[in-house]
Structure 1
Amino acid sequence: MNSKIILISTIFLCFEAFCNAAFSDCGSEVGSIVSVDIIGCDDKPRCPLKKGTNATMNITFKSNVDTTNLKAVVYGVIGVKIPFELPNDDGCKDSGIVCPIKAGETYRYTTTMPILTSYPRVTVDILWELQNDEGKDIICARIPSKIVK
């Protein structure tokens, strides 16, 4: 009985707060991912992204280089890599990060992306890159997802 209560409480907390999303590193060149947290993703194999809502995500990372700028580049992978246009690709603006980025420091990047109602219901891997001044990936996170109704 107690284990059921703990499980239900954990699930409830994950839907109301940030929970670790399943992710893999897809080629971080000059940094490393500490964690990826998305509201509603509670360690499911694929993060459900509900159409008509906004998905809020935190990526905690460590940079191995100094950089004055941080650019977010996002792709959806459905057999092919499709660029995803963000409302704000400036990783130093409205993200919780104040640039410049310093080597050896850990940062928490926060963003919200719209899940438009026009998106098809599909299984998709999201590639989220944060790039330095030279266009190198400080981090690249592959987040298995699915667009749901």
Structure 2
Amino acid sequence: MQAFIVFSLSLILCCSFVACGYSDCGSEDGAIVSLEITGCSNTAKRCILKRNTNSTLVLSFTSNVESSSLTAVVHGVILGVPMPFDLPNPDCCKDSGITCPVASGQTYKYEGTFPILGSYPRVTVDIKWEIKDKDGKDIVCALIPAKIG
């Protein structure tokens, strides 16, 4: 009976995490503290991104390494196939709320704006958003279930 209760509580916590709108997809040298995207509900299972608009991702994270530079790398994953997405500003140390170098043990707040073009097809997509250190290793990696509408 106790095993059933523990399993049930674990399942509820797992489902609550998915409902928050993102999952960690392999943060190597840091940890995600919080993640929000403008226009998305914290209770929605998929973030609905409206075409012909801009969205802003706000990602708070703690770095476990020192790095003189940070780069944002984004992929749209459709049917398991990652497709690169060019950001207007991939340099996380410029106009994103972060001043480099970053220090180990510190928490940072990154803000990145990205366009949802009218030419994008109406598809279900998982957004893989990575922040990489100077050596190309993921400090954080978030997988965000989304739908372009």
TM-score range, shorter chain: 0.7 to 0.9
Indicate yes or no: 2:97 matched with 1:96: yes
* Aligned-residue offset at 1:60: 0.3
* Aligned-residue offset at 1:21: 5.1
CA–CA distance in 1 between the matches of 2:48 and 2:107? 28
**Quick check: 1:67–1:102 contact (8 Å CA) kept in 2?**
yes
Give the match for residue 63 of structure 2: 63
Structure 1: give runs of 5+ residues left out of the alignment. Answer: 1-19
CA–CA distance in 1 between the matches of 2:104 and 2:89? 24
* Aligned-residue offset at 1:42: 1.0
Aligned residue identity for 1:39: T
Aligned residue identity for 1:76: G
Q: CA RMSD in A?
A: 1.1
**Quick check: 1:21–1:41 contact (8 Å CA) kept in 2?**
no
Aligned residue identity for 1:22: G
Count residues with an aligned counterpart: 129
Give the match for residue 12 of structure 1: none
Indicate yes or no: 2:48 matched with 1:48: yes
The alignment partner of 1:29 has SS state of coil
**Quick check: 1:129–1:140 contact (8 Å CA) kept in 2?**
yes
* Aligned-residue offset at 1:39: 1.2
**Quick check: 1:86–1:113 contact (8 Å CA) kept in 2?**
yes
The alignment partner of 1:135 has SS state of coil
Give the match for residue 83 of structure 1: 84
Runs (4+) of structure 1 moved beyond 2 Å? none
CA–CA distance in 1 between the matches of 2:32 and 2:133? 15
CA–CA distance in 2 between the matches of 1:99 and 1:50? 32
CA–CA distance in 1 between the matches of 2:67 and 2:99? 11
Give the match for residue 73 of structure 2: 73
The alignment partner of 2:58 has SS state of strand
Pair 1:100–1:34, CA change in 2 (3 A): same
The alignment partner of 1:55 has SS state of strand
CA–CA distance in 2 between the matches of 1:57 and 1:87? 13
